[in-house]
Chains A and B, each alone.
Chain A
Amino acid sequence: MTTVAGPAVETAERPVTNEYSIGRARARRRKQGAAALRTGIQAAIIVVWCLLPFYWMVVIGFRDSSYTFDPNPLPIHLTFANYISAFDTANGNYLGLALLNSFGICTVVTIVALVVGISASYCLARLNFPGKGLIMGFILGASMFPGVALLTPLFAMFSQLGWSGQYQVLIIPYIAGALPLTVYTLNSFFREMPWDLEEAARIDGCTPAQAFRIVILPLAAPAVFTTAILAFIASWNEYLLVSVLGNTQIQTVTYAIAQFTGSIPHVQPYTTIMAAGTIVTIPLIILVLVFQRRIVAGLTAGGVKG
């Protein structure tokens, strides 16, 4: 990546302006107009492709269920009934409980993963010590490990502890799942921090802990915040563990959505599911749109999927 920068700069001198080049400039501008149009069309295709299914979910979530299969893309036959029945527990769906559970579990997981992860990524980014590569490899390797392989032993372990069906059964594996992401993302942020400032603070008489708390942590706040969002989203979206270790009591939103049933057996209550899906997704969409820049920075810094 870095090898190209050198000689390329010199060859890029602008030619001297004369009549010939003015004519060329005009032709180039025309060509640029066409290129801009092509770009615009392609961009429009991408936007439509990305938003259309989501749009469809929102539209159907507001549609009267007798018109479920009406392909009209416009928001017609509007109703709020789906949002009310999405929270209805008569058919064994507990979306309200699932939302509370998910908020609680994800908040705890995010906070713990950050507190534990900050100290780990600080020392991985900042200190040189034997075994550093090994530990980084262990953490990365763990993040690639297929989750299914952990299911059986975790299930056995939690049963022996008598924890089955309690919140820690989800919280603890979720922390372990969020930690590699947290450490990896924070590590790549921390590597670019102005560490000279920390040294300056030390010279001014701070202890290492003080220097970190007073000088570095405020500077790192945006990175920590970004990582928190990514960890939260990752935990919110988790399905494999909760589908095996979870139950009605401790269900999360993904569990609730996947199990959603209607009053008639074997008939999917689509409009209600779409309303429930919208409810579950909206917090994330808001987070993502508000903190768009930071999330993109965090995703690409860590390169780990949320």
Chain B
Amino acid sequence: MTALAAPPKSPPPKLAGRESAEANRRRVTRVAYALLAPTIIVMLIIVAYPIVQSVIQSFNSDASGIDPKTGLFRAGGFVGLQNYTNWLFQQCQIGGVTQACPPGSPQAGFYNSVFVTFFFAIVTVALETVFGIWMAFIMNRNFRGRGILRAAVLVPWAIPTAVTAKLWYFIFDPSGVLNTVLNINVLWLSDLWASRFAIIIADTWKTTPFMALLILAGLQLIPEETYEAARMDGSSAVQTFFRITLPLLKPALVVAILFRTLDALRMYDLPAILTGGGGGGGQGTQTLSILVVKQIQQSNDSASALSTITFLLIFAVAFLFIRLLGANLTGNERKARRVAKEA
């Protein structure tokens, strides 16, 4: 806001033709960058600089020991791609010799974490999409009590993930309400697959409403006349859904799925608190983010390499999404203009 006081005095409205247009454009650009400067500076310091720093670090090795002055690991010099190959080929440097990592070391858990991360992302997003579409359809209908439904749906979204995790931790307790009511004896938080599904259940509960709201916004853009026309032409409910609703819903759906997928691939809070990444042999629910945080406590550089790998994986998924499904994230100019013209 402070930048707003700065814009230069506007020139007298009409100079001569092209020169004034050119000057005007330059002035607009100057104002624009002045207004953007604070945002860009914050993002550069807190996001761009650490990313660069992290990538640089990932090519370095830790010297043994911690610098007593800064409390940080001492830099051990450039090692090229070693940190990366350590993760990808599960190698460790033991006594200066590169060899296969012993089981239980973080490197040995890499592919497990990749699997867990993608498994969670695919299953939760799939469930959330299906349930989200269902919820959105119900919310889109006219009936008494719709207000209650719409308010209720916001409750899981509003609860902080940390609280959600503790709440489900209690529900999933071996003597908790779920086992008691269903009269079963599942170790939800320590059994391999049970703990994975515990996280999927909790995440689906928490995030489906958000998905449903995004889908609902897309549904409301479909004009009622389209459905009437389909009905007149004798289209069945199933046909209407697959031939009309789904294609018209696609733009909203793709954006919703993309956001959720990228979010799910970063999943940290829920498994970190609910299972501590454990389950099964101890790493059953260890997502890549949890692995990074664990690794930070051992070696910064190796953790940097792992977080860079994580970022590249997420970036690749986002790229594929936008390429294959044509997600329109920025709500681009052309569409806006077309809508404006039709209005």
Q: Which residues of A line the B interface, CB within 8 A? A: 1-2, 4-5, 7-9, 11-12, 36, 39-40, 42-43, 46-47, 49-51, 53-54, 56-57, 60, 69, 71, 115-120, 122-124, 127-130, 132-133, 135-140, 142, 144-157, 159-160, 164, 172-173, 175-176, 179-180, 183, 188, 191, 207-209, 212-213, 233, 236-237, 239-240, 243-244, 253-255, 257-258, 260, 268, 270, 273-274, 277, 280-281, 284-285, 287-289, 292, 295-296, 299-300, 303-306
Contact = CB atoms under 8 A, between A and B. Distances in A.
Contact of A47 (B3, B152, B170): B152
Given A46-B135, A53-B167, A129-B29, A149 B54 contact: yes
Given A144-B318, A183-B39, 8 more contacts: A1-B251, A54-B167, A124-B36, A129-B29, A144-B262, A151-B303, A285-B158, A304-B259
Nearest to B287: A148
B310 A148 contact: yes
B43 A280 contact: no
Contact of B255 (A51, A152, A303): A303
Instruction: Give 6 closest A-B pairs by Cβ, nearest first.
Output: A176-B46, A153-B50, A300-B217, A149-B307, A254-B162, A153-B53
Interface string B145-164: 11011111111111111110
Nearest to A127: B32
Interface residues of B, number: 122
A208 B24 CA distance: 13
Interface in B1-37: 1-5, 7, 9-10, 25, 28-29, 31-33, 35-36
Contacts of A277: 159, 163, 166-167
B170 A270 contact: yes
Contact of A12 (B2, B165, B228, B338): B228
A168 B91 CA distance: 38
Contact of A146 (B135, B228, B266): B266
B72 interface: yes
Contacts of A119: 1, 3-4, 35-36, 38-39
A77 to B, nearest CB: 15
A8 B167 contact: no
A292 B258 CA distance: 24
Contact of A152 (B25, B29, B304): B304
Interface string B325-339: 000011100001011
Binding site secondary structure of chain B = helix
Contacts of A137: 330
Nearest to B228: A12
A152 B151 CA distance: 40
B46 A240 contact: no
A268 B170 contact: yes
Nearest to A69: B175
Contacts of B223: 4-5, 8
Majority-rule SS of A interface residues: helix
A9 B225 contact: yes
Contact of A157 (B4, B53, B148, B180): B53
Most chain A C-beta atoms within 10 Å of own C-beta, residue among B31, B50, B152, B308:
B50
Contacts of B31: 123, 127, 208
A148 B292 contact: yes
Contact of B268 (A147, A175, A288, A305): A147
Contacts of B9: 207
B29 A209 contact: no
B49 interface: yes
Nearest to A301: B217
Given A8-B226, A258-B162, A1 B38 contact: no
B43 A179 contact: yes
16 contacts: A4-B226, A5-B225, A50-B205, A50-B209, A69-B180, A115-B2, A123-B31, A145-B47, A149-B304, A149-B311, A153-B54, A176-B47, A180-B43, A288-B154, A296-B213, A299-B210
A191 B331 contact: yes
**Residue of B49, B155, B176 with most chain A CB atoms under a 10 A cut-off:** B155
B236 interface: no
A237 B145 CA distance: 29
